[in-house]
Amino acid sequence: MNKNYTPINHRFNGFKSYNKPNPLESETISSEKQAITIEEAVEYKIPKEVKPYIKQRPEIVEVLPEIKNQGVVSNPHTTAVTFQSIKLPLSDDKILLASRAPITSSIRWLATLAIYILKQAHLVVKKVGGRAVRLVAK
């Protein structure tokens, strides 16, 4: 019988196994804990020392009934905001590194959770000058 194909068996020799352990999942966890914080907006509170000298205005402006009938409503959002801290399960560098890990790895899921928490606070993590930096999302 005639062979009417080109043998390609020589191309399969020398392939290495791709079942290597993921270096992100095999990292040892350091004993020192890093303080990771996210700033989340909360309502501004006047300090006790300044309170006698300041007249606090209501946060929501009252709209006249005549104008309410035309469909105007007051904006309940405040302009003076402070920030409160939120803890993250990973450092910013590890979030960027783990976000490119295989989808089946647990570190990728943890990084995805951290990115979700950052998005809730209107923040993103980007690499700037070789370091991971948190920026306010547009």
Residue 45 is assigned to a structural domain of this protein: yes
User: What is the domain range of residue 129?
Assistant: 35-136
Q: How many domains does the chain have?
A: 1
Residue 106 is assigned to a structural domain of this protein: yes
φ, ψ dihedrals at 57, nearest 5°: -95, 155
Residue 84 is assigned to a structural domain of this protein: yes
pLDDT in 10s for each residue of the chain, 138 residues:
577 778 777 777 765 555 555 555 555 555 565 666 666 655 567 788 888 888 777 666 778 888 888 888 776 665 555 555 677 888 889 999 999 999 899 999 999 999 998 888 888 889 988 888 888 887
* Cβ atoms < 10 Å from Cβ of 114: 22
Residue 54 is assigned to a structural domain of this protein: yes
φ, ψ dihedrals at 128, nearest 5°: -130, 120
Residue 111 is assigned to a structural domain of this protein: yes
pTM score of the predicted model: 0.43
pLDDT for 95 equals 92
Residue 123 is assigned to a structural domain of this protein: yes
Q: Collect all residues with Cβ–Cβ distance below 8 Å to 112 and sequence separation of at least 6.
A: 99
Residue 119 is assigned to a structural domain of this protein: yes
Residue 126 is assigned to a structural domain of this protein: yes
Q: Collect all residues with Cβ–Cβ distance below 8 Å to 41 and sequence separation of at least 6.
A: 81, 82, 83, 84
pLDDT for 108 equals 93
